[in-house]
Structure 1
Amino acid sequence: MSQVQSVERTLSILEILAAYPEGLSIAKLSKDLELAKSTVHRLLSTLSAKGYVQQDEQSGHYRLGIQCLVLASSLLNQLDIRTVAKEALHTLAKSSGEVVHLCIHDSNEVVYIDKVESDQTLRMYSQIGRRALMHCTGVGKALLLGFTQEQLDHLIEEKGLPKFTETTITDKANLQKELKAIKERGYVIDEQEHEKGIRCIAAPLYDHDGNVIAAISIAGPADRVTNERVKGDLARAILDQSKHISAKLGYIKK
């Protein structure tokens, strides 16, 4: 048995055990892998010694060990949202021809952490490092999907719901109604709520635990980013890329 073959078989054991949280017997693993029990036992012994599998004392079944979690946690901690999202941001900017943003929330505010400029002339508020309120921006409302009722109440108490344009949501009940609608359709529309003349579509990004950790948006002049585009090609594009980024962050929709 060559070294490469040993690695392949070892990884196959881990992949199979990942699908069986209650564990499997050597006999079942041997059957699934079409390998001799002695070979499977030898590989399991090595994995067990390193902490990648553990054996149940009562059933004798093997399941994944703590070391797998250590490796997974290390990988997830190394994932930088800007690096993970960069390709998707450029894809969105190229396909839409508009400005694309990546944002997180901090201290009940939106923080712009990356931006891909449009090749068309556009003057707008956003800059990397700049902050904005959450209730009046597409990315902000996307991030609010991850808030509990208590967190939302605290945000309103601390920041208020100030008016920026004629379409800004300034009422708690209307904001909650909007957030419910956003959950149902999966994306956010900023109907010129922060800057008059600028329409935006946004979507949340989820991590491996299902938490909303960031948001992306496409923004442009209302005469280019029309309601028809927002509900058509732009909605499809931003949902596709938000799902793609979230999957790279380890999110699995249940």
Structure 2
Amino acid sequence: MEKLQNREISGKQKVRSAEVGTDILKALAELSPATSLSNLAEHVQMPASKVHRYLQALIASGFAQQDQVTNHYSLGREALMVGLAALASMDVLKVAAVPLAELRDALNETCFLAIWANKGATVVQLQQAVRAVTLVTQVGSVLPLLSSATGLTFAAYLPEVETAELREYELQADSNHPLADTAKYQQHLQQVRQQGLHAVHGLLMPGVDALSAPVFDAYGRVAAVLTVVGPGTVFDADEAGMAAERLKQTAEAISWRMGYTRP
């Protein structure tokens, strides 16, 4: 009985030790690129002597390193390898699947996820509204750059070189487009970035409104755009409305899961 109790105590100590070790690793990441022992100890609210002991173990395993000139600590090569492996496993389609369905359930409007492909904004995931009349949006659909909330959201966050050719192509077909003027176009994209989302009212399809928000990856690049569409008669696509707030929260949650940290 005594041996069993000792094993349980030992097991709990090992778990606690692992938790402390991961707390210190997280702190090294948060205080990157490097930090002093005193700053690290203050950050994790532990005695410097205790933090130092854990650091020595982390250095021995390659998860931390110490600069011999400054004596500051930083993440080691093994931590880098783990981080890279985690990034490689972050597939936006997998990460967004459940939040997309939950957004549809919360709003009862058609919701979809689009990525930027060779032909532009392409729908890759779709959750249709549960009602008698649904909107015709299909997986594989390519949305216009200048006449959809999804396309304009991509345009706001992608490097201009990636969207310039498509914009020129669309303007050849409609030279009178409201965003044909370059200055107005750039001003419009700046407004999208300031608001963190974009709304259109009947722009692509008469009577159909849409709200879009960007999803970012760990490097701060736009990985996808999350969009809600619905009939203008029942769907409140106001950028200050409840649906817009829920959309932004969902996009931010997916971005966080992708490893993105807001500046």
Q: TM-score, normalised by structure 1?
A: 0.85
Q: 1:224 pairs with 223, 229, 234, which one?
A: 234
Q: CA deviation at 1:28?
A: 6.7
Q: 1:196 pairs with 206, 228, 231, which one?
A: 206
Q: 1:46 pairs with 49, 52, 57, which one?
A: 57
**Stretch deviating more after TM superposition (204-213 or 184-193):** 184-193
Q: Which residue of 2 aligns with 1:25?
A: 37
Question: Per-residue CA shift, 1:77-109, capped at 9, x if unaligned?
Answer: 111212211222122212222100100111241
Query: Structure 1 95/150 Cα, relative in aligned 2: closer, same or farther at 3 Å?
Result: same
Q: CA deviation at 1:41?
A: 5.0
Q: CA deviation at 1:169?
A: 4.1
- In structure 2, distance between residues paired with 1:41 and 1:158: 61
- In structure 1, distance between residues paired with 2:71 and 2:241: 55
Query: Structure 1 249/112 Cα, relative in aligned 2: closer, same or farther at 3 Å?
Result: same
Number of aligned positions between the proteins: 248
Task: Kindly report which structure 2 residues correspond to 1:160-175, keeping only aligned pairs within 5 A, or say none.
Answer: 160=171, 162-163=173-174, 169=178, 171-173=180-182, 174-175=184-185
- In structure 2, distance between residues paired with 1:178 and 1:162: 20
Q: Which residue of 2 aligns with 1:206?
A: 216
Q: CA deviation at 1:59?
A: 2.8
Q: Is the 8 A contact 2:179 2:185 kept in 1?
A: yes
- In structure 1, distance between residues paired with 2:92 and 2:231: 27
Q: Give the residue type in structure 2 aligned to 1:196.
A: P
Q: Which residue of 2 aligns with 1:34?
A: 47
Q: Which residue of 1 aligns with 2:255?
A: 246
Q: CA deviation at 1:232?
A: 1.3
Q: Which residue of 1 aligns with 2:3?
A: none
Q: 2:146 pairs with 124, 135, 138, which one?
A: 135
Q: CA deviation at 1:151?
A: 3.3
Q: Which residue of 2 aligns with 1:97?
A: 108
Q: Give the residue type in structure 1 aligned to 2:125.
A: D
Question: Per-residue CA shift, 1:107-151, capped at 9, x if unaligned?
Answer: 241110101111113353421122222221111111112223333
Task: Kindly report which structure 2 residues correspond to 1:174-193, keeping only aligned pairs within 5 A, or say none.
Answer: 174-193=184-203
Question: Per-residue CA shift, 1:171-200, capped at 9, x if unaligned?
Answer: 143432321221222211122222222111
Question: Per-residue CA shift, 1:200-227, capped at 9, x if unaligned?
Answer: 1111111111111101111011211245
**Stretch deviating more after TM superposition (60-69 or 236-245):** 60-69
Percent of aligned pairs with the same amino acid: 22
Gaps of 5+ in 2: 1-9
Task: Kindly report which structure 2 residues correspond to 1:43-82, keeping only aligned pairs within 5 A, or say none.
Answer: 43-82=54-93
**Stretch deviating more after TM superposition (236-245 or 123-132):** 123-132
Q: TM-score, normalised by structure 2?
A: 0.82
- In structure 2, distance between residues paired with 1:27 and 1:206: 30
Q: 1:109 pairs with 90, 108, 120, which one?
A: 120
